[in-house]
Amino acid sequence: MGHYARGSRRVVPVLECPVHDQRGNDIAFRFRDAFVRADVMAAAAGPEAGSGVLRSLAVRTAYGTSETLSTLVVADDGDKRLRAATRRVLTGGHLAGGVHLNIHSRGDAFIFGRQTRCLSGPTRLREQLAGTSFLISPTTFFQTNVYAAEVLVGLVLDAIPPGGEVLDLYAGAGLFAIPLARRGHRLVAVEENRGAVADGEASARMNRIASAQCRFVARPVESAIGGFHRADHVIVDPPREGCADGVIQDILGRLAPHRLIYVSCNPEALARDLQLASAFPYAIRTVQPVDMFPHTAHVETVVTLVRDRNAMGPGSPRTSGRRR
């Protein structure tokens, strides 16, 4: 149990990780010790490892609550030693929070497989940030650095003035949609991952937000966007490869919102999409980096583009060097 060596899938064993929440360390090493005693750690399962049953252990620790959620990822659940060791951890009396088992038999580098079941405790983690409650399933993506995620939410809320309808694309589990709905905006959140949509809808209900106030659409952004005809403000928070082909052009050329808020986890993809945006009458109002992963080169960036009929293409005297 440890961290990947740079640029590889080789695991470097560690005895502690000072970056992790101590609750996460305690849970991870409690499982590790039980598996060592049961002699199921000798060979790990995975595309570059042996033929064992264990793949990984994912531990979530909430920032705004005391809750934890652990997911043991295995190649199959038929190993009696593994079952006995897991049972000893669960009945030991020192493990709080939900515990799940994920079956991942495919030989790929994805973290989770398709099948997950709850072994003990809550089925979702309850998180609290930006005055909003979120419910997060074991395999649903949620920002790892929740401290910085709260900064992201604050930046997005600051960029969108009160009132107006919002279209939230690549919405995930509603990190931005639900706080905006709580503030009074009517919005539609588009996300292709159905597990994330289910979590977003559960979180909306927990926050007593009506479905008419915050509606989730479980479809890929590139296929769903043609069904929308207007939006006062649009948020995009795409994966590392950036927005799908044609999405930026469709937003700025057809929907023509007052503002586009682009939340990026990849500066290269952001630069490409902003180059596409430069063909439309929008001006960049703000660019704010957020250090999501300290001690690494990774950075999140929030960019606000505002519709400006006076803005022209790249290199124009109206946009070059002009402070806004």
Known catalytic residues are 265
For the chain, how many residues are written?
A: 324
Starting at the earlier edge strand, list the strands of the sheet with 186-190: 214-217, 186-190, 165-169, 233-236, 259-264, 300-307, 282-290
Q: Distances from the Cα of 54 to the Cαs of 3, 48, 72, 81, 267, in angstroms?
A: 16, 13, 8, 11, 35
Cβ-based neighbour number of residue 239 at 10 Å: 12
Handedness of CA 28, 32, 38, 40 (dihedral sign): positive
Looking from the CA of 95 toward its CB, the CA atoms found within 13 Å total 26
* Closest to 243 (Cα-Cα) out of 256, 233, 252: 252
**Between β-strands 2-4 and 11-13, what pairing exists: parallel, antiparallel or unpaired?**
antiparallel
- AA letter at 116: T
With 0-12 / 13-18 / 19 or more C-beta atoms within 10 angstroms meaning exposed / middle / buried, residue 294 is exposed
| 183/192 Cα distance (integer angstroms) | 25
